[in-house]
Amino acid sequence: MKIVVIGGTGHIGTFLIPRLVLAGHEVISVSRQERKPYLAHPAWDSVEMVAIDRDEAELKGTFGSQICDLLPDAVIDLICFTPESAKNLVEALHGHIQHFLHCGTIWVHGHSEVVPTDETQFRKPICDYGTKKAAIESYLLTLARKTGFPVTILHPGHIVGPGWVPVNPIGSVSSATFKRLAQGEEVVLPNLGMETLHHVHADDVAAAFCNALNNWNNAVGESFHIVSSQALTLRGYANAVAKWSGKEARLSFLPWEDWKLTVSESEAEQTWDHIAHSPNCSIEKARRLINYNPRYTSLQALEESVTHLRNLTQ
């Protein structure tokens, strides 16, 4: 198939596009062409690189037609964040493609209630990002039911991979927490450290997109959680990070209202966003319908990422 990947040089695309090429597909990567993939791979030599600034093209009302003019059989959209953006693209592609795959987020769920959360949980997002992604999901799945538009939605958790800082044991994206734990220094966790995070390796997300393409009958008209097999508590995560360096974690705890005063306002906002959600998602549906079997546990993915970051700074 000819497959267009929108946002192909980012976290997921770095792993997805080589997988697609090795599977024998003709691949076109659409992006602003402002950065290279996080990891080099010889498969990129076979990829057609198309430069389009999505924001500018959408303002002109041309983005959807530009993608359609590439004559794809399938489109994988990794960087759609508003319902208007989704409509602009889908209206141009409707009736012209075999499969449309959208990258969503587990943030469509809001607070965890019954865990592990499955895809049937009612959508009650609690942040702007999750609200917009839930609206996109609703629009796409409604369109699939009414018109047969061949859409599949994959909802990743906290994406991990070599080359960027993962969500850390205090729920922010600072590398300082990893350094403190590695050096045996005290780390203060919010509350009792029992809130959860649910990571996933970017290559497992890439594999899930490939599996959805290969299981068209089961995938079309559906949404799937794409996370590791188990979520982590902040406390368990911190203990594991310290052990990677042969240390015992020195942990202390503060109630949220006190804890947030110990970090910057932006870091407190990041942490609150993660612990308020405390995701813990089921992948049973993805296992059953598209044969999704993540290769990495959360800790395996995180250890690879943290080790890569440490090597870069040495």
CATH number at residue 12: 3.40.50.720
Does 90 map to a domain?
yes
Does 88 map to a domain?
yes
Nearest Cα to 115, choosing from 232, 227, 286, 282? Answer: 282
Which stretches of the chain are DSSP H helices?
Answer: 11-22, 54-60, 63-68, 83-93, 128-147, 176-182, 202-214, 216-219, 234-244, 256-259, 265-277, 284-290, 298-313
pLDDT for residue 242: 98
| Domain of 210, in residue numbers | 2-160+198-228+279-295
pLDDT for residue 310: 84
pTM of the model: 0.97
- Per cent of the chain over pLDDT 90 is 96
Does 179 map to a domain?
no
For residues 301 and 87, give the distance between their C-alpha atoms in angstroms, rounded to a whole number. Answer: 34
Residues of the chain predicted below pLDDT 70:
312-314
Does 30 map to a domain?
yes
Does 75 map to a domain?
yes
**Residues 247 and 181 sit within 8 Å (Cβ to Cβ):** yes
Does 308 map to a domain?
no
Tokens of 112: 């965890």
pLDDT for residue 168: 98
pLDDT for residue 309: 86
Structural domains counted in the chain: 1
Does 18 map to a domain?
yes
pLDDT for residue 311: 79
Does 312 map to a domain?
no
Can you name the residues that pair with 252 across neighbouring β-strands?
188
